[in-house]
Amino acid sequence: MANRLIHASALLWALLSLAPRPAHAESWLSDRMDVFGKVSVESRIFPESGIHPGQRSHASGLSLETTAYIEGDGSGSFTITPFLRFDAGDPERTHADLREAYFLTYGDAGDGEWELRLGIDRVFWGVAEARSLVDIINQTDLVEHPNAKSKLGQPMAHFTLSGGWGALELFGLTGHRKRTFPGEHGRFRGRPVVDNSRATYESADEEWHVDLAGRYSNSFGPLDIGLSVFEGTSREPAFAPVFVDQAPPLVVLAPHYEQIRQYGLDAQITTGPVLLKLEAIRRTGGQNRMMQEEDYTASILGGEYIINGPWDTNSDLSLFAEWLRDNRGRNATDALANSVFLGARLGLNDEHGTDFFLGVLDSREADSRVFNAEFNRRLSDSLSLHVESIAHIGFETDETVRDTSRDSFIGISLEYNF
């Protein structure tokens, strides 16, 4: 229900933004509203045929994300960001979402400040490059990209109190969002197909369960630290096979969202060109890959080294190294939860904002790894180019990731900003 309401709202806003407005409304809005966004045209080519029947070797589509910021009277504002995606290869990837739709108000609190956001918003926690273990407020929009970094908007009340002592954030969350999954013709999927219409919840309140979260953050010299806690409906589902009564018989996977508690720590120490990073969580209440309840601890420990002006140029080169650990071992729900990540990002600092990225995530428990290469460049003030390649190596010998062993791809997208 929550997903359908948000999808409908995103479509309605997109239609209203195209409708003509009365002259007096146009004048009022022009003084108080700022509208900006981006349109992206994307194409992906998969060199190998899919491991599952019906999977396509080429996917193309477009996306639209626009933000309207409306300044209110006094200390208040309203922000709305609808997102629309059309994909010609996988109907499940075609979707709409409200990334943001919240009212913001703020004021003074003694020597500090307070801020309140009511509505739909996105919140990010984390410092690591390869994964974001502590980032739990928003649901993953998995059909957008296999790196799981795109997030769905989450209904919330978000209160922040800040001062010289740090910042305290408190969250009340409801309207749980179901994770998006590729459909029968999509890539990056397992077997059987996930059927979101059959999702179940441990809580009797289902998606309307009220989740609670909090985070304290502060800086102590070179150290930036965040301590967080979350209690409520997990963003990561377990799966149960369901037999569909039809001819021929069909088996699908039904997501099941459990009640969990997660404690998180994220920290970064900055000393000149060296950044030391740590993310760690302790989670109770969830199931492992074998569908057995198991409490666990996971962490990412690593660093970043920044070289300014390498090879006597104006460029910046960042080198990354991270160690990922999950004490569930092969029973972890993320097949690459126990891995080593190495990467490098080169920014040319030219007028076109050109940058390159190379990275590899190498499993320490299986002979499988993921290579990632990216290239970004502005073609004009409004138009930019993004080229990406992801290669799955050794996946065919690892049963936990074999279903995506042929899903290496080359992608290209053109993005117009307005």
Share the mean pLDDT of the chain.
Answer: 93
Q: Tell me the per-residue pLDDT of 152-179, one tens digit each, with 9 for 90 and over.
A: 999 999 999 999 999 999 999 999 999 9
Q: Tell me the per-residue pLDDT of 210-253, one tens digit each, with 9 for 90 and over.
A: 999 999 999 999 999 999 999 999 999 999 999 988 777 789 99
328: left (phi over 0), alpha (psi -120 to 50) or beta: alpha
208 neighbors 174 (Cβ within 8 angstroms) = yes
**Order of all β-strands in the sheet with 238-244:** 200-201, 250-257, 238-244
Q: Tell me the per-residue pLDDT of 19-78, one tens digit each, with 9 for 90 and over.
A: 455 555 455 455 688 999 999 999 999 999 999 988 999 999 999 999 999 998 778 999
167 neighbors 159 (Cβ within 8 angstroms) = no
Q: Please, which residues bridge with residue 406 across strands?
A: none
As a whole number of angstroms, the distance between CA 199 and CA 89 comes to 24
The residues near 36 (Cβ < 8 Å, ≥ 6 apart) are 66, 67, 417, 418
Q: Tell me the per-residue pLDDT of 251-305, one tens digit each, with 9 for 90 and over.
A: 999 999 999 999 999 999 999 999 999 999 999 999 999 999 999 999 999 999 9
Residue 113: enclosing H or E segment and its boundaries?
strand 112-121
As a whole number of angstroms, the distance between CA 118 and CA 104 comes to 7
What CATH number has the domain spanning 2-417?
2.40.160.10
Question: Could you tell me the pTM of the whole model?
Answer: 0.91
